[in-house]
Chain A
């Protein structure tokens, strides 16, 4: 199963994705974050919230792009969703494959561990402790995951738990499945 997922992802990456140099991407994202910090006067809580909002808007559009490129159907389990997100989703947009780890006992929570983060290459957070305590630099990813998964009827709580920019040993995002949204049949129709 996982072999075909990886093969699909590599195939799509090779043939169906227009590629560019990731440095322009890193620099553009950096400029977005720096601009937000300036505009909110270093209120990092608000910056995180705005990054998540922006990510959400991206996510709801990105999911259609993703489904169109991959032609995949519904995932049968949350575990499968995790595999598809990490091996295909991240691969075809960011060209990285995070590791899926730390599954909770009930199978409803897992972590994505990013070994390399194209959003945060060469970034050094400002020296003040506030930044390294409060800012999640790549918070846009949280919004993207939330938005995209919501569009496929999964309400998921997403948050960063660790970030190398803050001095931790790895960059880790935790995803918790809250519920599966079912389409409701309007009363009177059956």
Chain B
């Protein structure tokens, strides 16, 4: 089971991406997308942005659950109050775990954002952030 996570800033620019696989049930955590899917992943998520733009004004919760479907692959979304979007492309439905995952990533994102040397919409290149996200992926997915 593979996952593709992207964090998109307020100007529709990606600030972070991560491709990984499930750590559950004996899987080793590597992503198993076939090469055609790999190339399409960013485009799929990008197309989902339009849907987010529409749905976000209809509700004021942060977690938007599964908003789109691409030939069996689900796309779940989460929008922070500052309009940074977290998108996850995944294969099986798993609302609760993904909700916790996104909430913790929101926490991490705020901590990164608070640094004065990080300006809004900058890509997040910090290695420690990367490691922490992977730790969360291992914990929840």
- Is any CB of A less than 8 Å from a CB of B in the complex? yes
* A residues in contact (CB < 8 Å) with B: 26-27, 29-31, 33-34, 37, 121-127
- C-alpha gap A29/B115 in the complex (Å): 11
- C-alpha gap A126/B111 in the complex (Å): 15
User: Is B125 a contact partner of A124 (Cβ separation < 8 A)?
Assistant: no
User: Is B125 a contact partner of A122 (Cβ separation < 8 A)?
Assistant: no
Check if B112 is an interface residue, CB within 8 A of chain A: yes
User: Is A127 a contact partner of B116 (Cβ separation < 8 A)?
Assistant: no
Q: Which residues of B contact A127 (CB under 8 A)?
A: 125-126
Number of interchain pairs (Cβ within 8 Å): 31
Tell me the smallest distance from the CB of A144 to a CB of chain B, in Å.
19
A126 nearest CB neighbor, chain B only: B117
* B residues in contact (CB < 8 Å) with A: 111-112, 114-118, 125-126, 128
B115 nearest CB neighbor, chain A only: A124
Q: Which residues of A contact B111 (CB under 8 A)?
A: 122
User: Is B117 a contact partner of A125 (Cβ separation < 8 A)?
Assistant: yes
Interface of B is mostly: loop
A121 nearest CB neighbor, chain B only: B114
B128 nearest CB neighbor, chain A only: A124
**Across chains A and B, which 8 residue pairs bring their CB atoms closest together, nearest first?**
A30-B116, A122-B114, A34-B116, A124-B115, A126-B117, A123-B115, A122-B111, A122-B115
Q: Which residues of A contact B116 (CB under 8 A)?
A: 27, 29-31, 33-34, 123
Q: A124-B126, A127-B125, A127-B126 are in contact. Are A34 and B117 (CB under 8 A)?
A: yes
Q: Which residues of B contact A124 (CB under 8 A)?
A: 112, 115, 117-118, 126, 128
- Show 10 residue pairs from A and B whose CB-CB distance is below 8 angstroms, ordered by the A residue: A26-B114, A27-B114, A29-B116, A30-B116, A122-B111, A122-B115, A123-B117, A124-B126, A126-B117, A127-B125
Tell me the smallest distance from the CB of A43 to a CB of chain B, in Å.
15
Tell me the smallest distance from the CB of B91 to a CB of chain A, in Å.
34
B111 nearest CB neighbor, chain A only: A122
Q: Which residues of A contact B117 (CB under 8 A)?
A: 30, 34, 37, 123-126
B127 nearest CB neighbor, chain A only: A127
B118 nearest CB neighbor, chain A only: A124
A122 nearest CB neighbor, chain B only: B114
B112 nearest CB neighbor, chain A only: A124
Tell me the smallest distance from the CB of B124 to a CB of chain A, in Å.
10
- Knowing that A121-B114, A122-B115, A123-B116 touch, tell me 14 more A-B residue pairs with CB under 8 angstroms: A27-B114, A30-B114, A30-B115, A30-B116, A30-B117, A34-B117, A37-B117, A122-B111, A123-B115, A124-B112, A124-B118, A124-B126, A125-B117, A126-B117
Tell me the smallest distance from the CB of A26 to a CB of chain B, in Å.
8
Q: Which residues of B contact A121 (CB under 8 A)?
A: 114
Tell me the smallest distance from the CB of B43 to a CB of chain A, in Å.
29
- C-alpha gap A29/B116 in the complex (Å): 9
Q: Which residues of A contact B118 (CB under 8 A)?
A: 124
- C-alpha gap A127/B118 in the complex (Å): 11
Q: Which residues of A contact B115 (CB under 8 A)?
A: 30, 122-124
- C-alpha gap A31/B118 in the complex (Å): 10
